[in-house]
Structure 1
Amino acid sequence: MLGIIFRGMAVGITETVPGISGSTVAMILGIYERLIYSLSILTTKHRREALPFLFTFGTGMVIGFAISIFIINYLLSYYRTPTLMFFIGIIVGFLPYLWKETLNHSKNKIKLKHYIIMFLFLSIVVVSQPLSGINQMDLNNLAIADYIFLAVAGFIASTALVLPGISGALILIILGIYDIATASLMSFDLPIILAIGSGIVLGVLLTSRLIRYLLTNYTVETYAAMIGLVSGSIYALWYHLDSIVSTSIIVVSLITFFGGIAFIITLKQTQNNKF
Structure 2
Amino acid sequence: MIEWRNLYRGLLMGASDIVPGVSGGTIAVILGIYERFIESINDVFTKRWKQSLAFLIPLAVGILFAMWSLTGVINWALKHYPDQVSFLFLGLIAGVIPFLARKSNYKETFERTHYVLLVVAILLVGSMFFLEQDPVGDAITTFDPTTYLILFLSGWLASTAMILPGISGSMLLVLVGMYPTFSHAIHEFVFEALIPLGLGIAFGLLIMSKILRYLFHKFYYQTYALIIGLVIGSLFVIFPGFDTDMMMNVLSMIFLIIGLLVAYGLGKIEH
TM over 0.5: yes
Shift of 1:253: 0.9
User: What's 1:139 paired with?
Assistant: 140
User: What's 2:202 paired with?
Assistant: 201
**Moved beyond 6 Å, runs of 4+:** 134-138
User: What's 1:271 paired with?
Assistant: 270
User: What's 2:251 paired with?
Assistant: 252
User: What's 2:91 paired with?
Assistant: 89
Counterpart of 1:127, as a letter, is S
The answer for unaligned runs of 5 or more in structure 2 is: none
User: What's 2:72 paired with?
Assistant: 70
User: What's 1:121 paired with?
Assistant: 121
Contact residue 128 and residue 174 of structure 1 kept, 8 A: no
Q: CA 1:10–1:119 in structure 2 vs 1: closer, same or farther (change >3 Å)?
A: same
Cα separation, 1, equivalents of 2:30 and 2:122: 21
Give the number of aligned pairs.
268
Q: TM-score, normalised by structure 1?
A: 0.84
Shift of 1:204: 0.7
CA root-mean-square deviation: 2.7
Q: CA 1:212–1:92 in structure 2 vs 1: closer, same or farther (change >3 Å)?
A: same
Shift of 1:133: 4.5
Q: SS where residue 2 of structure 1 aligns? A: coil
Contact residue 242 and residue 249 of structure 2 kept, 8 A: no
Q: Identity percentage over the alignment?
A: 30
Equivalence map 1:215-234=2 (5 Å)? 215-234=216-235
Report Cα offsets for 1:90-127 as digits up to 9, x if no partner: 1112112212222x2x5613112111111212222222
Q: CA 1:113–1:213 in structure 2 vs 1: closer, same or farther (change >3 Å)?
A: same
Q: CA 1:269–1:170 in structure 2 vs 1: closer, same or farther (change >3 Å)?
A: same
Report Cα offsets for 1:103-158 as digits up to 9, x if no partner: x2x56131121111112122222223444349987735677555434432321221
Shift of 1:161: 4.3
Contact residue 161 and residue 168 of structure 1 kept, 8 A: yes
Contact residue 157 and residue 171 of structure 1 kept, 8 A: yes
Contact residue 89 and residue 260 of structure 1 kept, 8 A: yes
Cα separation, 2, equivalents of 1:130 and 1:144: 33
Of the three residues 33, 36, 40, the one matched with 1:34 is 36
